[in-house]
């Protein structure tokens, strides 16, 4: 007997299907105006929301509400991931403007380390604070 899939598994499979069809992170990053969120809303409430893309509205008329919820959840995941990448990019830009060398070090890290960027940044900031304290101490001794 086959164990039925959980809703979570179905949503993950739907998101994977979207990626296979070309709706990758790079593609999603082009949609910064809430289109992924709006696509989710359309899937849930097609009579009150517009399809946000120009490539033709999907025919949801015969689709069961549960199936549309799965697709909407996958759109929500895509939007959350896009938003996370946007936040990380903004943080990296801030770091670059404040700490050029630290920013370059972060860029040289592998993907796993980038996921722990807060640890890397905090460590670098501690180093900079330590240098500042040493410099202040030296300055105090010179007086």
Contact 57, 51 (CB under 8 A): yes
Residue bearing tokens 């960027």: 117
Angstrom distance (rounded) from CA 50 to CA 38:
8
Q: How much is the pLDDT for 102?
A: 67
Instruction: Provide CB contacts within 8 A for 68, sequence distance 6+.
Output: 43, 44, 46, 60
pLDDT in tens, 75-86: 999 999 999 999
Please identify every stretch of the chain with a pLDDT value under 50, giving residue numbers as ranges.
Answer: none
Q: How far, CA to CA in Å, does 85 sit from each of 32, 51, 131, 132, 135?
A: 11, 24, 31, 32, 36
Give the global pTM.
0.67
Residue bearing tokens 């040493």: 134
Contact 47, 90 (CB under 8 A): no
Domain boundaries along the sequence of the chain: 1-82, 99-143
Distance of CA 58 to the CA centre of its chain: 25
Nearest 10 degrees: Cα torsion 86, 91, 96, 97: 110
Q: How much is the pLDDT for 11?
A: 96
Q: How much is the pLDDT for 45?
A: 95
């Amino acid at each position: 007997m086959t164990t039925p899939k959980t809703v979570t598994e179905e949503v993950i499979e739907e998101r994977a299907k979207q990626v296979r069809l070309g709706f990758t992170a790079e593609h999603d990053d082009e949609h910064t105006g809430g289109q992924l969120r709006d696509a989710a809303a359309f899937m849930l409430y097609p009579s009150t929301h517009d399809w946000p893309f120009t490539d033709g509205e999907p025919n949801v008329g015969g689709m069961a509400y549960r199936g549309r919820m799965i697709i909407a959840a996958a759109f929500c995941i895509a939007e959350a991931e896009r938003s996370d990448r946007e936040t990380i990019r903004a943080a990296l830009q801030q770091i670059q403007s404040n700490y050029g060398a630290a920013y370059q070090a972060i860029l040289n890290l592998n993907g796993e380390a980038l996921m722990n960027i807060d640890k890397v940044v905090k460590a670098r900031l501690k180093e900079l604070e330590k240098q500042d304290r040493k410099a202040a101490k030296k300055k105090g001794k010179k007086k």
